[in-house]
Structure 1
């Protein structure tokens, strides 16, 4: 039995080798007979198209009472006073930011960063919206309220200016405004809650725009920036229909 099994094994191996050899020869012949694939034409239509970007279509405005991103930083550096005092502090901070971004825009122009200059001007105008909202509310509390004088700003290179701007916006959205909102809630000043809330949420988007510009400083796009006239939200590009903060329609936005 062992000799028979051995002979069958050897015979099977020989047949298998012959089959593989024949298959290899046939494959080689087929390869030689098959014409080479044609090079794609330069003007040929692409086989697939990139999916369109999702369009921002907000239907509900965020609320300080229900949203999860209104907690102030545990190591807060914000001095909290009365809501009126907090309004004055916010006005002063936004006035400084406006002056800073205006100077940064001029520096970006000189360096040839057109899109960054447009972003800084757009953000400076957004801060002016916050100033007016806060100033008008402060005057309701004390009609003698006056606006502070803007500081003198010495800009640096656009890369540093973008990080400086982002740091300021992150502080406002994660520390200053959440602290002021909490105090306004304690005092049951709903107007102040709304004003601070809209500013707080807008600052987060400002920081995002600055970091995006920083990361793409040498490879900028030609996208337009759009400014919401109600709350100061800034959108980059065309893919939106309304403001995600106050729901103002795209048609009301200012283009930069």
Structure 2
């Protein structure tokens, strides 16, 4: 029969209480250590996940003879003639573009979209660079050539102006200029190949800037736009060293 005397009962109670107290202290110590470890892990993860700055620092210029993005779209809408004919068509298209973008810049400013107005002003100036280069070459081939008059400008809401601009730039970079480059290559007109190539590549970046502005239309940005004076490339923000098309240095760019 087990010993259940008062002395043995009290002794068991004391031992049991001590054991419970010891377990409580250990549990308390354990619970105090866990938050510290968790906080330390969170701090390390936050430091490791910091994004690295990306800087555009090109070393080589794209070449129409070797680059992989000069194919002409299958359902081409471009009427192709001689290089002189194509220069005239390009000048007409670019004249329409620069005129529209200037008008849409004024409309965006009036409607309170100052950041988009800056982009339209910048792109309008970029198209003037293309017009100047193409006109100079056209007049070299035909000294009496005169540039066309600016067209009438259709009006849109700011968002639809951005889409219209992007569509026009995509047409030029994927259809019109690749078709003109092919003819210039066949005619061995290397100057025209270079002028068309730089314009074609710049238009792709213009389309990208317009789509970015469309997607973030209600999120005004303080980022500046920078325009290459040689080829009309546009960069958004400070993170670049030189133009990825013609390698002109950042110091030569105009700021918008």
TM-score if structure 1 supplies the norm length? Answer: 0.84
In the TM superposition, what is the alpha-carbon distance from 1:29 to its structure 2 partner? Answer: 3.4
- In structure 1, what is the Cα distance between the partners aligned to 2:229 and 2:92? 20
Q: What's the secondary structure of 1:163's corresponding residue? A: helix
TM-superposed deviation, 1:25: 5.8
Within-5 A mapping of 1:88-107:
88-107=88-107
Q: Which consecutive residues of structure 1, in runs of 5 or more, have no partner in the other structure?
A: 1-20, 41-45
5 Å-filtered alignment, 1:69-218, equals 69-218=69-218
CA gap of 1:156–1:26, structure 2 versus 1, over 3 A, is same
Matched length: 229
Question: 3-state DSSP class of the match of 2:139?
Answer: helix
Q: Which residue of 2 aligns with 1:61?
A: 61
State the distance in 1 between where 2:142 and 2:149 align. Answer: 19
Partner residue, 1:225: 225
What is the aligned-residue RMSD (CA, Å)?
2.4
Q: Quote how far apart the aligned CAs of 1:156 are.
A: 1.1
Q: Deviations over 1:173-230 (max 9, x none)?
A: 0000000000000111000000000000000000000000001101122100000000
**Residues 33 and 154 of structure 1: CA distance in aligned 2, closer, same or farther (over 3 Å):** closer
Moved more, 211-220 or 173-182: 211-220
Q: SS at the partner of 2:226?
A: strand
In structure 2, the CA distance between the partners of 1:22 and 1:146, relative to structure 1 (3 Å rule), is: farther
CA contact (8 A) 1:240 1:250 kept: yes
Q: Flag the structure with larger Rg.
A: 2
For residue 32 of structure 1, report the CA deviation from its aligned partner: 6.5
How much has 1:35 moved relative to structure 2?
A: 10
SS at match of 1:195: helix
